[in-house]
Amino acid sequence: MGFSQKLPTSQRTDDPLMSIQETTLALAGILQAATLVKQVARQGLVEQSAFDSSIGSIFKLDAKSCEDVYGGLTGVRLGLQHLCAALEDSNKRDLEVLKYVFSIMVLERKFIQDTPMTRAVHSGIETIAEQNKDIAYTQMVMISQVGKLYVRTLSTFDYRIQVVGEQRHLENEHNANRIRALLLAGIRSAVLWRQKGGTRWQLLFSRGKILASAKQQLASISR
């Protein structure tokens, strides 16, 4: 379940309940990355545990399940919370975050249709992981490497994600790299979402099922 277009048959599921749980979790992963992008751009700060999980998801190229991609349900708690808010009450929707979500989904479609690009990103992630296997991925050096990978690859598309925020935070190089790394994490979750059967039609016609699944998964974290 890495940066590829197709999901191995052994990892597919025909169980509708399992399918909605998995697409919900991947969708929450996109929202979490988008929320963290806003935090960095507006405040220069992030919820560290959520940030660690989102960045870690980039390197889970051979994860056995959606939960494993995020290090368990707790790793995507922030995303599940924002997903519930967005689906349950229109007054609680963060339009800035949803704009990033939409942009990530648009860029993901361009990315996944470009085989050389997907291979370059996949190879780049493997190289970074190998170079930093003895260093925690939250360290500045790895974030910088991931940010540079994003610049070399996804930022070369004609379509670019426009991030808004406080100029002093956006001009900080470490923050810029954190934002790029989070956008790549969002792309990773968007790829996973489609691999697991997620579509825009599902967002339109299965909102109730997605909300129920998100609430159920949040409740399981609290037990």
Using the predicted structure, report yes or no on whether residue 41 has a pLDDT greater than 80: yes
Q: Say which amino acid occupies 45.
A: L
pLDDT band at 66 (very low <50, low <70, confident <90, very high): very high
Domains (range + CATH), the chain? 16-222 (1.10.3890.10)
Using the predicted structure, report yes or no on whether residue 56 has a pLDDT greater than 50: yes
Contact between 17 and 142 under an 8 Å Cβ cutoff? The reply is: no
Structure tokens belonging to residue 61 = 């190229």
Lowest model confidence (mean pLDDT) among 12-21, 83-92, 157-166: 12-21
Which uninterrupted H or E stretch holds 56? helix 48-58
pLDDT band at 17 (very low <50, low <70, confident <90, very high): low
pTM recorded for the entire structure = 0.91
Q: What is the pLDDT of residue 60?
A: 93
Q: What is the pLDDT of residue 203?
A: 85
Q: What is the pLDDT of residue 183?
A: 98
Calculate mean pLDDT across residues 53-66.
Answer: 92
Q: What is the pLDDT of residue 91?
A: 79
Rg (CA), the chain: 16
**What sections of 153-223 are H helices per DSSP?**
167-170, 173-195, 200-205, 207-222
